[in-house]
Each structure stands twice: as structure tokens, then as C-alpha cells.
Structure 1
Amino acid sequence: MAITSANQLELLQTAEAVAREKMIDPNLVVEAMEESLARAAKSRYGAEMDIRVAIDRKTGRATFTRVRTVVEDEELENYQAEFTVEQAKQYMDSPAVGDTYVEEVPPVEMGRIAAQSAKQVILQKVREAERDRQYEEFKDRAGTIINGLVKREEYGNVIVDVGAGEAILRRNEKIGRESYRPNDRIRVYIKDVRREQRGPQIFLSRTAPEFMAELFKMEVPEIYDGIIEIKAVARDPGSRAKIAVISYDGSIDPVGACVGMRGSRVQAVVNELQGEKIDIIPWNEDQPTFLVNALQPAEVSKVVLDEEAGKIEVVVPEEQLSLAIGRRGQNVRLASQLTGLDIDIMTEEQESARRQAEFELRTKLFMDNLDLDEFFAQLLVSEGFTNLEEVAYVEIDELLVIDGVDEDTANELQARARDVLEARNKAALENARALGVEDSLVEFEGLTPQMIEALAKDDVKTLEDFATCADWELAGGWTTVDGERVKDDGVLEPFDISLEDAQTMIMTARVLLGWVDPAELEADAEEELDGEDADLTEETEA
């Protein structure tokens, strides 16, 4: 096959036809043809030659050229595509390194194999252009709802025609036991769009919490307009869900707006989600209040929040326990997802028993260590004293408010508590030294003998060991594994060391060791402070 005048225009017509069919730029098809013809020419003239083909976009005429580049003498490797300055002087005036010499070469006759190879190149380029177009079209649509047509089902996964390509709704992204037949219309959420080697992959979902949020945005104009905001969504797909909303207009009730007249708006969402029951809850900045709302319809007696641990204790009446927990723990699980807190639910009787156990434990602590009778020990606990340190170092006036305690008694109590603590400190330090703790760690400010002993048992025996620790290794923390919050125990966690305290001590140790420049720390702190001031200014201006 030769590129003759008879079929020059046919090239352009073919390119335009393919571009229209695949909805891509005709120039991309022409470029693919140029590359395929260049490959065919290389097989005729030699693979080492730099042969290029240019197709005129108006006439369809294909021009074959050979390109040679001027290089330094020592860099000359490919004699067919490169030449030195001296060699170039035969063809060019005043050649310089980097210049190129272009000469036209005769078109090639394409045999059957070359023509087949050219066809494959064109098809590959067209496929790549089609994939790029599909990716560009859908990459910005992630996070939106789309209507599609079911094409087929493969191993429980549904292949959906979304107009410009195919998308996949995986088995675990379907609600319950949904099943679809070819040509069924389906409404889905675009969860992710990824560019992969085999082409762009569009992943759909009907179980994502965001799907429900988008459905409400479609049904509730106030959400679309930004008057009402969806703050959180938690779902047990196909069964039950909770959605937290807040209104920025005092005259609009966010819950009522989402429910709609006679429940019309929420019912439209429920129907789309196969009858999934939806609890619409008012958002509140105060976490305990928000949690009480999230646990509806159960009634809550008391809430105790541990912000540092991200954990909350909820006390409910005995008759409300099963309602608060829900069937198979569904209600409390959804409330936990909605608030981002670990929720521990107990009855009033259980809480009373726990408080009694703590009271007895602290009473025994004071009886055993301060040589007190039960009544006196209970008086201390009743006044809020929880440990020996509080008794030993509290202002004496706080002990004098206890019935029957005069100044002499208060001084005696503090003396006994300090004696016990000193004995404990001495024993802890001796144990730590026996485990091999060095003076560099013992003399480090901020660590008590008990802390040093705990570190030694964890094989932290020098200041260098301490400086290499992470803050969570000392203070403990929480990580999320497979959607569940998992507790990481810290070496110094029993001593109520916070993450901030741990960070400060670790950085101080690194400064003492010369690992960190104090000036850099100050500069970082100033930058952080400036950033916070800038954010505050923006908020004030807004």
C-alpha cells in the first residue's frame, strides 16, 4: 500500500469518521496515523533512523522526512540519526550542537505486515485517547450521583453503562440483596475514579453515607442552597441510618425541612434506599448534647465525656437499655459512627455499682497506706480525694474543711502520705537502677521515679532511648483499624501524661542531646502562631 494522491484525502476522511465515532479529537487520530506510517518507514529504511511523517490537515498529503541531530564528537552513538559538527558542514552552513538537519525521503510501500502493524498503532492510540477522554469527563464527577443502565452482572458485581463508558458497582456496594437485570435503570453514587493501566476505572456505590447525603441534597432545596448543612451520616445500608443536620437560618427547622410535608422528602430517599429507616437528628456543637440526640429514641439520664480518649459513658434507665443499644447493637453503633466517639452504655444500677466499687477501692487505699480507720478513709474519699499525692501536697485548708480534722490532724495526714510516697519513690528508683537505667534518664526533669521504673521495664534506659520514643508510645492513643477504634497503651499513660506533655518532654530530650536546634523550634513555633493569627483574622473578617 502506498500513500498516493488517490487515497490522501481518504486518510483525513477516515480520521474524522473514527473521531466522530469515538468522540475524540480528529487530530489525535491523525497523529496516530503519522506514528504508524513512521514505524512502517523505519522498518523499510532502518530502525536506527529518525524517520518522521507529517500529514497535511487540509490535503491529506503525507510527507516522510529523515531527521539528523548535530552532537559533540564524543557523544556520537547513532550514526544514522546523529552526526558531528564536521560531518554536518557538508549539508549545513555554520552548524552548531543541537541543530537538526531535515531531508525528505521517498514514501514507502507498505506490505501486509506493515499495514497490520500500522492498524494496531492507530487502534491503540485511539483507545488511549478514548480512555483519557473518559477519565477527564468523570474525574471531577466523583462524589456526585449519576443515573446509569445495567448492562450485565459478573460474579455479583454490576456493570453499569454510564453513557461515555462502563462503571462497576461491586457486590459489597449494593444495598442488602439487591439484584438487577440488563437494561434496568439505576441511580448510583460515583465513589472513586482512578486511572489504571487497563483504562479509567469508575467505582460506584449505593451503600456510601455520601450517597444518602446527596439524595437529601436533591430532595431538600434548603440543603442545596446551603441554608441547611448535613454534618454527619451513619448508615447500616438497607436497614437503618442516622443523619445529623444543622440550620443556619433560625426560622427554619432543619429536621422538619428534611422530613418534608407529611414526610414526602424523607420518604423519597427511603424509597430509593430500599426502605432504609432514617433518623434525622439536630446537630449540636456540644458533644454530650449531640450524643443524647443521636441515641434517640432512647432516653439518657447522664453523659460523662472523656475528650482525650475520645470515649463517652452514657447512663440510661434499666428499661431504656435495650432501646439505646438497639437490635444487635445497631442504635449505639450508628450513634458512635455519627459522633466519632466510643460509647459505653450502662444502666443506672451498673453505674451505681461501679461508683461504689471505686469508692471502696479508694477507701482501702487510704486505710492501708495512711493507717486510718474505715470511717475516716471514707470521709477523705467523700471530699473528692482520689490518691496519696492529693493528700500529701494539697493546701492544708482543703483538709481542714473535713469534719473532725484540725490542723494537727491535717499535718499528720500529710506527713504520713509524704512518707509513703518517699518510700515508694526510693523503691522505684532502686528497681530502675537494678534494671540498668543510666543517670542521664534519672536526672531528666519531669520524670518521677515511678515513671523511670516503668520506662526501664519497657527497655528505655538512657536519655537517647527516651528521645527516640514517639509521643503515643509514652502517652498512649487511639487508632482506627477496619473502622474500629483500637487503644494503644502508653508506657507513661498510668501517670496521666498527655500527648502534648509527651511531645514536650521528647523534644526537650532531643535538644539536650544536640539532635535539635532550639532556634529552629522557636522559629517553627512562631510560624505556627502566625498561621493561627492569620486564620483568626480571616474568620473575623468573614
Structure 2
Amino acid sequence: MAITSANQLELLQTAEAVAREKLIDPELVVQAMEDSLARAAKSRYGADMDIRVHIDRKTGRATFTRVRTVVDEELLENYHAELTVEQAKPYLEAPEIGDEIREEVPPVELGRIAAQSAKQVILQKVREAERDRQYEEFKDRAQTIINGVVKREEYGNIIVDIGRGEGILRRNEKIGRETYRPNDRIRCFIKDVRREARGPQVFLSRTAPEFMAALFKMEVPEIYDGIIDIKAVARDPGSRAKIAVISYDGSIDPVGACVGMRGSRVQAVVNELQGEKIDIIPWNEDQATFLVNALQPAEVSKVVIDEDAARIEVVVPDEQLSLAIGRRGQNVRLASQLTGLDIDIMTESDESARRQAEFAERTALFMEALDIDEMMAQLLVAEGFATLEEVAYVEIDELLSIDGFDDDTATELQARARDKLEAINTAALDAARALGVEDSLITFDGLTPQMIEVLAKDGIKTLEDFATCADWELAGGWTNVDGQRIKDDGLLEPFEMSLEEAQTLIMTARIQLGWVDPAELESDDEDEDTEELLAEDGEEDIG
């Protein structure tokens, strides 16, 4: 079939019909037709030729053009689509590299094979345009709720019709006891939209914490308007959930607003989540207060926070332990997810036993090191003394404030503590020297003899060795592995060395060795200060 003998307007009518059916731009369909005709023309005139086709957008007339490009003589490879400057002179007055020579050629006869090939090209281009349209549409709807209809189930995954495309609800994104049949209506959260080779993939979820937050936003106008904010959500899908909310209007109770009249608002969310029990908790900037709220309905007696380790220790009455932990640890696990802290729960009796053990241990330490009786050692511990250093170097007035302690007793205790520390330090230095520690490390300011002994046992025997250490190797730290916080023990952590102290010591060692120029450090500090000032000025301007 020759293009010239066909109804030329039929090309445009076909393009419009396909574009309307696939909901894409008609221009894309026409461009696909041009590409398909150009490919058919190459099969007729030769694959090496650069044949281009243009379809007039008004008349539908297809024009076939042969294009040859002017290239450098040394780069000439394709004699059918390229030519040199000399060869181009008969066609152009002053040819330059990059110029194109266009010649119209007769339209081709589309045989059966060529027509089939052209059809495949058009279908492929239309399919790609449809995929791009779907991706652009759904990528902007990510992190929102969508209503769909169940189409089928494949290996436990649910394929959902979401209008102009399909979404997939994987097995692990379904609430455990949910079952669906074809044509069931379903509400899901668009968790992610990805562009893949087989087309855009829309991944749905009903277990994501964000799904619950979005449901509350739909049911509670105050959340939608920004008066109430959802600060955190933790879920055990299908069983229990905790959601932390805060109100920016003092006259509105965030918990009451989310519960609604007679529980109507929260019940709507519970029904959508197949009866999942929801605890609505007031959010608080104070971590301890927030955690007490998060562990409801259990009562909390005491909270101890370790900010460096991002851990929190909670003491509850003995009879509240099972309630605080929850069935299979559910309550404490959700509270941990909500606060972002690792939570250790113990009973009041367990804490009392631990305190008694610590009291006995410190009493025994003072009895042995200071050669005093149990009563005097207990008095020291009861007043808060925990180490020999505290006894040796504390202001003497603090010892005199203890009942029964006079000047002679306080002076004698400090002398004994200092003598004991001197003996311990001497023994530690002797052990360090026996291990081969050099004087450069022994005389380094900031390290005690006991610290030097510990470093020596780990192979750190020179100032150069010490300067190559990382701060966390000395002070310890935490590493996230597969979402779990793993403790890294520091060599000097038993001496209560902080990360900041470790950084300072290591940098001082590097400066002494000449590895770092102090002037450069000062310059960097000044730049940081300037940046902070500029940032503050910017914030003031915005305010």
C-alpha cells in the first residue's frame, strides 16, 4: 500500500483515536507514526541511509526526506548518510561541518511485512507514552490514600485496579487476617511508585504507619487544617497501634479531637483497619513524660534516660510489669518505636536489689582500699561517694559535712585515698612499661596511668598509635545494623570518657606530632562561626 494512495487524513484520525483511548497526547502518536514510516523507508532504501518522515499536522500528508550530514573527512564512515565539505559544495554555497543536506525522496510502498513492522513501532511508542503518563500521574500521588477495586490475586499478592493503572498490594503489606475477592473495593496507601522496565509499578500498603496517619487526617478536620499534628505512629498491623498527637491551639484537646464524639472518629479508623486497637497519646517534648504517656495503660514509677546511648530505663511497680511489657512484648515494643528509644523495663524490687548490690560493692571497695570499718564505708556511699578519686580530691568541707567526721578523720581518709591511688597508678605504669609503652604516650597530658595500661594491652604503645585512633574506639558508641542499634565498646569507656573528650585528646596528639596545623583548625572554626551567624541572621530576617 502506498502512502500517497491512502486517505491521508486517516493518519491523523487514527492518531487522535488512539490518543483518546490511551489518554495520551495525540502528538506522541503522530511522532510514533513518523518513526514507524521512517523505519519502513530504511528497509526499502537501505539501513545506512538517514531517512526521516514528517506528517503534516493539518493535511496528514507524509513527506519522506533523505538527510546527509557534513562531517570531517577523517571521521567519514557512512557514505550514505555523511559527506565531506568538498562533496557538499555542489549542494551548499559555504558548507560547514554539522550542516545537513535534505532531499525529498518518493514515498515507499508498504508491503505486508513493512506494514506489520510499522504497526509494532507505533504500538511500542504508544505503550511507552502510556507508561510515562501513568508514572507522572501516580508519582505525584505517592504517600496518599487511594481507593481501588480488587482485580485478582497472584501468589498472595493482590492486584488492584486504581483507575488508569494497576497497583500491587504485597502479602507483607496486607493486614494479617484480611481476605479479598475480585471486585471487592479496597482502600490503600500508595507507599512507592517506581519506573521499571515493565512499566510503572505502584506499590500499595495497608500496614504502613503512614496509612493510619492519613486515615486520621481524613477523619479529623483539625489534623487536616494543621491545628493538630501527628508526631509519631507505631503499629503492630491488625492488632494494636499507638499514635502521638499535639495541638497548636491551647483550647483544643488533641486526644479528644482524634477520639471524636462518642469515639466516632477513631472508630472509623479502627473499622478500616479491621478492628486494630489504637492508643492515642499526647506528645510531649520531654522524653521522660512522653515515654510515660506512651507506656499507657501501665503506670511508671521512675524514668532514667541515657541520651548518649539513646536508651531509657523505666521502673514500674511489680504488679504493673506484665501490663507495661504487654502481650508478647507488644506494649513496650510500640512505645519504643514511638519514642525512638531502646527501653529497658524493670520492677521496683529489681531496681531496689540492684541499688543494694551497688551499695554493697562500693562499701567493700572503700573498706578494702581505705582500711576502714563497714559503718564508715557505708556513710561514704550513702553521701554519694562512688570512687577513690572523689574521696581523695573532693573539698574537705564535703567530708566534714558527714555526721561523725572531724578534721582528723577527713584528712586521714583523703591521705589514705591518695596513697592508694598512687600505688594503683605506679602499678599501672610499671605494667604499661613492661608491655613496651614509650615515654611519648606516658607523658602525654590527659591520660591516666590506668588508661595507658588499658591502651597498651590493646597494642597502643606510642603517641603515633594513639593519634591514629578514632574517637569511638576510645569512648565507645552505637552503630545501626539492619535497623538495630549495636553497642561499640570503647577502650576508655570504663573511665567515663566522652566522645568530645576523646576527640580533643586525639586532635591534641596529632597537633603535637605535626600532623595537623593549629592555624588551619582556627580558620575552620572561624568559618563555622561565620556560617552560624549568617544562618541566625537569615532566620531573623525570615521571622
Counterpart check, 1:204 vs 2:174: no
In 2, Cα distance between the equivalents of 1:177 and 1:387?
57
Q: Deviations over 1:34-81 (max 9, x none)?
A: 222222222333333222222221122222222222222333233332
Structure-2 residue corresponding to 1:502 = 502
TM-score of the superposition, structure 2-length normalised? 0.93
Alignment partners' CA distance in 2, 1:28 and 1:517? 62
Matches within 5 A, 1:439-518: 439-512=439-512, 518=518
Question: 8 Å contact 1:145–1:187 — kept in the other structure?
Answer: yes
Please tell me whether the aligned partners of residues 295 and 335 of structure 2 are also in contact (alpha carbons under 8 angstroms).
yes
Cα distance change on mapping 1:425 and 1:135 into 2, 3 Å: farther
Corresponding residue of 1:152: 152
2:4, 2:107 within 8 Å by CA — same for their partners in 1? no
Contact preservation (8 Å) 1:65, 1:104: yes
Partners in 1 of 2:38 and 2:224 — Cα distance?
A: 54
Kept in 2, the 8 Å contact 1:32–1:122? The answer is yes
| Structure 2 letter corresponding to 1:319 | E
In the alignment, what sits opposite 1:169? 169
Change (3 A) 1:133 1:509: farther
Contact 1:5 1:61 in 2 (8 A): no
1:325 aligned onto 2:325:
yes
Shift of residue 432, structure 1, vs aligned partner:
4.0
Q: 1:35–1:293: structure 2 CA closer, same or farther, 3 Å change rule?
A: same
Q: Describe the SS at the equivalent of 1:4.
A: helix
Q: Residues 415 and 38 (structure 1 numbering): CA distance in 2 closer, same or farther, change over 3 Å?
A: farther
Task: Quote how far apart the aligned CAs of 1:268 are.
Answer: 0.6
Cα deviation for residue 322 of structure 1 reads 1.2
Q: Which residue of 1 aligns with 2:191?
A: 191
Alignment partner of 1:353 is 2:353: yes
Give a deviation string over 1:333-357, Cα, whole Å, max 9, x none: 1111111111111111111100000
Q: Is this contact kept in 1: 2:321–2:346, CA < 8 A? A: yes
Following the alignment from structure 1 to structure 2, what is the Cα–Cα distance between the partners of residues 186 and 15? 35
Give the conservation status (yes or no) of the 8 Å contact 2:64–2:106: yes
2-side partners of 1:350 and 1:433: how far apart?
Answer: 43
Report the residue type matching 1:252 in the other structure: I
Distance 1:301 1:152, change over 3 A: same
Q: 1:453, 1:330 → 2: CA distance?
A: 45
The aligned counterpart of 2:102 is: 102
Higher mean C-alpha deviation, range 119-128 or range 518-527 = 518-527
Deviation, structure 1 residue 190: 0.8
> Judging changes above 3 Å, is the alpha-carbon distance between structure 1 residues 218 and 113 closer, same or farther for their aligned structure 2 residues?
same
How many angstroms apart in 1 are the aligned matches of 2:427 and 2:106?
97
- The CA deviation at 1:103 is 1.9
Gap change, CA 1:98 and 1:324, over 3 Å in 2: same
Return the alpha-carbon distance in structure 1 between the equivalents of residues 138 and 279 of structure 2.
Answer: 32
Alignment of structure 1 residues 327-406 onto 2, 5 Å: 327-406=327-406
Distance 1:15 1:440, change over 3 A: farther
When structure 1 is superposed on structure 2, of 140-149 and 29-38 the one drifting more is 29-38
Distance verdict in 2 for CA 1:128–1:456, change over 3 Å: farther
Supply the distance in 1 between the matched residues of 2:73 and 2:453 (Cα, whole angstroms).
72
Check 1:266–1:446 CA distance in 2 against 1; reply closer, same or farther (3 A cut): same
Residues 1-80 of structure 1: pairs in structure 2 closer than 5 A: 1-80=1-80
Give 1:113's aligned residue.
Answer: 113
In the alignment, the residues of structure 1 paired with residue 107 and residue 128 of structure 2 have an alpha-carbon distance, to the nearest angstrom, of 27
Distance 1:115 1:443, change over 3 A: farther
2:143 counterpart of 1:143: yes
| Change beyond 3 A, Cα 1:358–1:77 | same
Q: Could you tell me which residue of structure 1 aligns to residue 82 of structure 2? A: 82
Name the counterpart of 2:218: 218
Corresponding position of 1:127: 127
Worse-matched range after superposition: 36-45 or 452-461: 452-461
Question: In structure 2, how many angstroms separate the alpha carbons of the residues matched to 1:524 and 1:202?
Answer: 47
Matches within 5 A, 1:523-542: 523-537=523-537, 542=543
Structure 1 residues 204 and 66, CA gap change in structure 2 (3 angstroms): same
* Inter-partner Cα distance in structure 1 for 2:122 and 2:436: 73
Residue matched to 2:303: 303
- What amino acid maps onto 2:345 in structure 1? I
CA distance in 1, matches of 2:446, 2:49: 74
TM-fit CA distance, 1:410: 2.9
Shift of 1:142: 1.2
| Structure 2, unaligned runs of 5 or more | none
How far the C-alpha of 1:249 sits from its partner, in A, is: 0.7
Range with bigger deviation, 69-78 or 467-476: 467-476
Moved more, 390-399 or 293-302: 390-399
The code of the aligned residue for 1:295 comes to: L
Counterparts in 2 of 1:77 and 1:393: CA distance versus 1, 3 Å = farther
Q: Which amino acid aligns with 1:240?
A: R
**Residue in 1 that maps onto 2:419:** 419
TM-score (structure 1 length as normaliser): 0.93
After superposition, the CA RMSD in angstroms is 2.3
Q: In structure 2, do the counterparts of structure 1 residues 472 and 79 end up closer, same or farther at CA, with 3 Å as the change threshold?
A: farther
Could you tell me which amino acid in structure 2 is paired with residue 266 of structure 1? V
* 1:237 match: 237
- Whether the 8 Å CA contact 1:209–1:233 is kept in 2: the answer is yes
Relative to structure 1, the CA distance from residue 492 to residue 200 in structure 2 (aligned partners, 3 Å threshold; closer, same or farther) is farther
Q: Which shows bigger deviation, 510-519 or 189-198?
A: 510-519
- Deviates most, 516-525 or 407-416: 516-525
Q: Is the 8 A contact 1:233 1:338 kept in 2?
A: yes
Paired with 1:360 and 1:334, the residues of 2 have a C-alpha distance of: 36
- Equivalent AA in structure 2 for residue 37 of structure 1: L
- Cα drift, residue 20 of structure 1: 1.0
* Alpha-carbon distance in 2 for matches of 1:2, 1:462: 89
Tell me by how many angstroms 1:97 deviates.
Answer: 2.0
Farther-moved stretch of structure 1 (472-481 vs 460-469)? 460-469
| Deviation at residue 436 of structure 1 after TM alignment | 4.8
Partner Cα separation in structure 2 for residue 68 and residue 456 of structure 1: 77
Runs of 4+ in structure 1 off by over 6 angstroms are: none
Match of 1:290 in 2: 290
Q: Which amino acid aligns with 1:355?
A: R
Q: Hey, what's the Cα distance between the residues in 2 that align with 1:112 and 1:422?
A: 102
Distance in 2, matches of 1:537 and 1:67, equals 60
Alpha-carbon distance, 1:297 to partner: 1.1
Q: Deviation string for 1:101-129 (max 9, x for gaps)?
A: 22222222333333333222222211211
Cα 1:360/1:15, change in 2 over 3 Å: same
Q: Distance in 1 between matches of 2:411 and 2:261?
A: 71
